[in-house]
Chains A and B, each alone.
Chain A
């Protein structure tokens, strides 16, 4: 038999008939005479006297105490800020790396309008390694000039490769080791508030080795150099070029209206083999349309990467454009498609569910292709799915996307926005960022 327990006060409870507590409260609050007093004042004073006889401070529960301790100690801020700039960075490596973490040192100074130096190292469960440093001066000359320096040695032990072109087979999955070191610097101006114009230059030391996966063969065992240029010997590159970005998003973190347009042109000069001189164009348009007080947003992205090699030259496979994975074609495996050129379209309809969660239905379309003349809407690979976007204090911090394509379903659990905003310049012109 179910037993109801009714609390008489903050401390005591009874199993008396169900309306006991109601009756007690009713009598205590309605101002009804109940204890034989002659005036209302006496009656209230009697109630106060009764309360005084049993008065004691409310006890704070353990959970609330713990939360208060956590909050008063500014634990989140202290963990985020680290110890004298030294912190632990979670995640941030290329998709498929496994869980990654490592130390990061961040130094902020006010010189030259404020600049930030970041240096760190990361190691993943698949033993991917990345060491990086960045020095950013975003506010030179009163915010009209910015400078950025990036350096990053990386060693990714099992990057997937399925063969070149749009018709590569999912069954031909192989992997290779990507080892490179990049050094890039970027200088730009902001002639008007929303426009960035600049140029950048950098150097890439490249090495490709056998993949370490036990599950799949190494790329060099399956794909010969005539199919996969650069698999047998690698070179270093000098790269440089201009870029432009126009940003009129209403909110950089959770845009609901506006656009972000990026154009980059980069020359790659083979420094060792004279086999891989090429030029690369990256163009991206992001456009957002918010409606119903921006609780519904249509987010669109179109992105094209085109390369053009000199006569007798090729674009090595490790510098080719790549599609597939959590940030472009979500219904396909990461690194599923490689070729000289790529074209990608993403469309999302996002809507408010809770203040801490939005949802999205999305469709992705894209293709890789060998010749720039094939830049069109035909033969696109497609996928679609549904996503859950989690926010904290209005800022997105996590997403779950479930996508289906002709090659099956993919489940993505990510701590970034689908339309990742990479920095502009040659530092971001890596196919595998």
Chain B
């Protein structure tokens, strides 16, 4: 009883100011998150990948959208955009990156120094996925990984490409480089701890290193191709989860299953076939900035993207259904497999460096990661639009420029990956841009409200003319009073007697898919302060 009363009082306390509060503040829309609180006390943590699989496969984690409850994405400004900060940075869609910038990725200017040896300072054997950590003559630390022996250029190529795309899409990712070297380039530091194939810890020997390198493919000139990622800045404190918030991070106030950049990541993952997009492939680090120590959230490890499964080529199941898809299984059992899933119609090109990647059977709306991801499952049409508009912003030339940095030795493999990404991009656009009215980049120019009609720009679902109605908007009550005289995109500044206007825009007869653009009036000047979408 006491607990109930307490909760009731808390709710009242929150509702009361809400009823009297403004919809827009003077500093809206925020482009940057406010300076973070100090989070230096955050403790490191480790998630277990098997537990994560079971937890997400068998339990409904986080708070889910459903037919009864719809929770719009959070962590966004009043335009619906995630803010620059610990999770996200506005990049390619907002400020078109040059081809060179797209190819450089997170930094692109700090590869391992070629002078002097590369010193192996720690290693992992972990079965068929060899790798180690090395330092160069600058004493920078790099994580090194390789391709599966039967699939040269597969995992390294996929990781190079996907890291570039995800960086351009706004995420914090490591700085990746391709390297080529002979075993003689490597030196072994003293007392490197090593866990052998029998799981025992011991000092690493040169023989161990040679054995490790024997498991990776060699180029025709005897060199070894690997991918290195520069150690991420800051102190690692473990991965983030795709639901809830981190209990000891004061800046983590939006449940992750509601964060737009994590909901939208599901669409990016579909594009790149990032079936391994799960907690274990994320990393939080404590970094210094804005006068405090705070957590920055990174996506890491893109070896299981495109046609790669890190240690082999992808099978058709990846992206088609979950590891444990208990909804699909009864149908397969009952029909003796004669109900062939759509993804099983995939045909792969046969390039070792491409593996199990294609676009013909790709259905963006059906794509799933290896197991349920609460943020991906929570996405709404406006989350999908947010992601799709960014994917569609990559031109064919830009896609091919990023694919080029994988340095596939077979030009036809490079062409195939570029073609597949372009086809998958277009499919994503056709599916997700049309679920809302695809207008974006609103601004006021020359007394008119202007915007980009992404449907028209991409030739998708742009039939019918656009209509607009204007209202005076009461920032305190949310009440809208129609302005009958205003029926085009000219902003009715004069004589409205209001500080805020709302323009409701729709196409043809489809009034359900509408965008309301809120303008703040200062004298005769108007600025876009908010965007709401309905569908």
Give A residues with C-beta under 8 Å from B.
Answer: 8, 10, 14-16, 19-41, 43-45, 47-49, 51-52, 55-58, 60, 63-64, 67-68, 71, 73-78, 80-82, 292-296, 349, 351-357, 359, 361, 394
Q: Is the CB of A31 within 8 A of B74?
A: yes
Output the nearest chain A residue to B325 by Cβ-Cβ distance.
A354
CB atoms of A47 and B74 under 8 A apart:
no
Inter-chain pairs besides A58-B247, A293-B343, 18 sampled, C-beta below 8 Å:
A31-B74, A31-B77, A32-B18, A33-B17, A39-B27, A51-B250, A55-B250, A67-B48, A75-B199, A78-B198, A81-B199, A292-B344, A293-B347, A293-B348, A296-B337, A349-B336, A355-B324, A359-B336
Question: Which A residues touch B315, using CB under 8 A?
Answer: 293-294, 394
**Given A36-B21, A52-B250, A55-B249, A64 contacting B34 (CB threshold 8 A):** no
- Are A359 and B251 in contact (CB-based, < 8 A)? no
A16 touches B8 (CB 8 A): yes
Binds A, one of B252-260, B402-410, B459-467, B511-519: B252-260
Q: With A27-B18, A55-B247, A57-B248 known to touch, is A351 a contact of B197 (CB < 8 Å)?
A: no
Query: Is B75 close to A, CB under 8 A?
Result: yes
Closest beta carbon of chain B to A242's beta carbon, Å: 31
Would you give the shortest CB distance from B499 to chain A, in whole angstroms? Answer: 15
Could you tell me if B50 and A67 are in contact, using CB atoms closer than 8 angstroms?
A: yes
Q: Across the interface, which residues of A come within 8 angstroms of B321, CB to CB?
A: 355
A48→B317 contact, CB < 8 A: no
A289 CB to closest chain B CB, in angstroms?
Answer: 14
Q: Nearest chain B CB to A160's CB is how many angstroms away?
A: 33
A354 with B323: in contact, given A29-B255, A67-B50, A292-B344 (CB under 8 Å)? yes
Q: Is B366 an interface residue (CB 8 A)?
A: no
Chain A residue, CB-CB nearest to B311 = A393
The distance from the CB of A81 to the nearest CB of chain B, in whole angstroms, is 3
Task: Give the secondary structure class of B's interface.
Answer: loop
Contact A41–B27 (Cβ < 8 Å): yes
Residue in contact with B344 in the complex, picked from A24, A28, A29, A295, CB distance below 8 Å: A295
Of all chain B residues, the one with the shortest Cβ separation from A19 is B69
Would B337 and A351 count as touching, CB distance under 8 A?
A: yes
> Quick check: B195 and A74 within 8 Å, CB to CB?
yes
Given known pairs A31-B74, A33-B22, A41-B27, the reply for A355 and B200 (CB within 8 Å) is no
Q: How far is the CB of B29 from chain A (nearest CB, A)?
A: 8
Determine the distance from Cα of A355 to Cα of B195 in the docked complex, in whole angstroms.
29
Instruction: Assess the B21–A22 pair: CB atoms within 8 A.
Output: no
B50: chain A residues within 8 A (beta carbon): 67, 71
CB atoms of B25 and A38 under 8 A apart: yes
Give A38 to B21 CA distance when docked, in angstroms: 9
Question: Which one of B45, B337, B347 has the greatest number of beta carbons of chain A within 10 Å?
Answer: B337
- Point out the residues of chain A lying under 8 angstroms from B322, CB to CB: 355
The answer to whether A34 and B37 touch across the interface, beta carbons within 8 angstroms, is: no
B residues 3-41 touching A (CB-CB < 8 Å): 3-4, 7-8, 11, 14, 17-18, 21-23, 25-28, 30, 33-34, 36-37, 41
CB atoms of A292 and B48 under 8 A apart = no
Interface membership of chain B positions 219-256, coded 1 if the CB is closer than 8 angstroms to chain A and 0 otherwise: 00000000000000000000000001111111111110
Which residues, 312 to 352 on B, are CB-close (under 8 Å) to A? Answer: 312, 315-317, 321-326, 328-329, 332-333, 336-337, 340-341, 343-348
Q: How far is the CB of A20 from chain B (nearest CB, A)?
A: 6
Q: Decide if B305 is an interface residue (CB 8 Å cutoff).
A: no
Q: Do the beta carbons of A293 and B74 come within 8 Å of each other?
A: no
Judge whether B43 is part of the interface by a CB distance below 8 angstroms.
yes
Q: Provide the bound-state CA to CA distance between A30 and B382, in Å.
A: 14
Find out whether the CB atom of B329 lies under 8 angstroms from the CB atom of A353.
yes
| Bound-complex Cα distance A255 to B502 (A) | 63
Quick check: is B78 within 8 A (CB to CB) of the other chain? Answer: yes
How would residues 288 to 327 of chain B score, 1 for a CB under 8 Å from any chain A CB and 0 otherwise? 0000000000000000000000001001110001111110
Is the CB–CB distance between B253 and A51 below 8 Å? yes
Closest Cβ of chain B: how far from A246's Cβ, in Å? 20
**Chain B neighbourhood of A353, CB < 8 A:** 329, 332-333, 337
Asked if B63 is at the interface of the complex by the 8 Å CB criterion, the answer is yes
B-side contacts of A394, CB under 8 Å? 312, 315
Report yes or no: A25 in contact with B71, Cβ–Cβ below 8 A. Answer: yes
* Alpha-carbon gap, A64 to B325, bound state (A): 22
Q: Is B46 an interface residue (CB 8 A)?
A: yes
Is B144 among interface residues, defined by CB-CB distance under 8 A?
no
| Residues in A neighbouring B347, C-beta threshold 8 A | 293
Q: Is there contact, CB below 8 Å, between B71 and A22?
A: yes
Q: A22-B71, A77-B198, A351-B337 are in contact. Are A39 and B25 (CB under 8 A)?
A: yes
| Nearest A residue (CB) for B347 | A293
Q: Which residues of chain B are within 8 angstroms of A82 by Cβ–Cβ distance?
A: 198
State in angstroms the CA–CA spacing of A359 and B3 once bound together.
Answer: 52
Q: Is B380 an interface residue, CB under 8 A from the partner?
A: no
Question: Do residues B345 and A292 form an inter-chain contact, with CB atoms below 8 A?
Answer: yes
What would be 7 A-B contacts, judged by CB atoms less than 8 Å apart? A16-B7, A21-B63, A22-B71, A25-B63, A28-B74, A29-B255, A361-B336
Which B residues touch A81, using CB under 8 A? 197-200
**Least CB distance, B128 to chain A, in whole angstroms:** 10
Smallest CB gap from B19: residue in A: A34
B490 at the interface (CB under 8 A from A): no
| B319–chain A nearest beta-carbon distance, Å | 12
Q: Choose one: B4, B74, B250, B323; the contact of A355 (CB below 8 Å).
A: B323
**A16 and B51 within 8 A (CB):** no
The complex places the Cα of A67 from the Cα of B14 at a distance, in Å, of 41
Q: Is there contact, CB below 8 Å, between A32 and B21?
A: yes
Q: Is B531 interfacial (CB 8 A cutoff)?
A: no
| Nearest-Cβ distance from residue B36 to partner chain A, whole angstroms | 7
Q: Kindly list the 8 A-B residue pairs having the minimum CB-CB distance in the complex, ordered from nearest.
A: A29-B74, A351-B337, A74-B199, A81-B198, A77-B199, A293-B316, A33-B21, A52-B250
| Chain B residues whose CB sits within 8 angstroms of the CB of A10 once the complex forms | 244-245, 247
Check A40–B332 contact: CB distance below 8 A. Answer: no
Contacts of A295 in B (CB 8 A): 316-317, 337, 340-341, 344
Quick check: A292 and B340 within 8 Å, CB to CB?
Answer: yes
Q: With A and B bound together, what is the CA distance between A15 and B343 in angstroms? A: 44
User: CB distance A40 to B250 under 8 Å?
Assistant: no
**Docked CA distance A273–B38 (Å):** 91
Q: How far is the CA of A303 from the CA of B326 in the complex (A)?
A: 38
Whether B48 lies near A27 (C-beta < 8 A) is no
Asked if B503 lies at the interface with its beta carbon under 8 angstroms from chain A, I say no
Whole-angstrom distance between the Cβ of B37 and the nearest chain A Cβ: 5
User: A354 contacts B329, CB within 8 Å?
Assistant: yes
**Residue of B at shortest CB range from A82?**
B198
Set of chain B residues within 8 Å of A35, measured between Cβ atoms: 14, 17
- Given A35-B17, A75-B199: A56 touches B48 (CB 8 Å cut-off): no
Is the C-beta of B76 less than 8 angstroms from some C-beta in chain A?
A: yes
CA distance A73 to B195 in the complex (A): 10
A56-B248, A354-B329 known; A64-B253 Cβ under 8 A = no
Name the A residues within 8 Å of B36 (CB-CB): 48
- State in angstroms the CA–CA spacing of A292 and B341 once bound together: 9
Inter-chain contacts of B326 with A (CB < 8 A): 354
Chain A residues whose C-beta falls within 8 Å of the C-beta of B195 in the assembled complex: 74
CA–CA, A24 and B72, complex, Å:
13
Q: Roughly how many angstroms separate A73 CA and B199 CA in the complex, as a whole number?
A: 7
Question: Would A25 and B258 count as touching, CB distance under 8 A?
Answer: yes
Closest chain A CB from B332 CB (angstroms):
4
**A14 adjacent to B30 (CB under 8 Å):** no
Indicate if the CB atoms of A71 and B48 lie closer than 8 Å: yes
Which residues from B are CB-within-8-Å of A44?
Answer: 33-34, 253
Given A40-B27, A356-B324: A68 in contact with B48 (beta carbons within 8 A): yes
Contact A352 B324 (CB under 8 A): no
Q: How far is the CA of A16 from the CA of B156 in the complex (A)?
A: 52
The answer to whether A356 touches B323, judged by C-beta atoms less than 8 angstroms apart, is yes
Contact of A15 among B4, B340, B348 (CB under 8 A): B4
Evaluate contact between A28 and B253: CB separation under 8 angstroms. Answer: yes
Establish whether residues B69 and A22, one from each chain, have CB atoms under 8 Å apart when the complex forms. yes
Please judge, given known A-B contacts A31-B78, A75-B199, whether A8 and B7 are in contact too, CB under 8 Å. Answer: yes
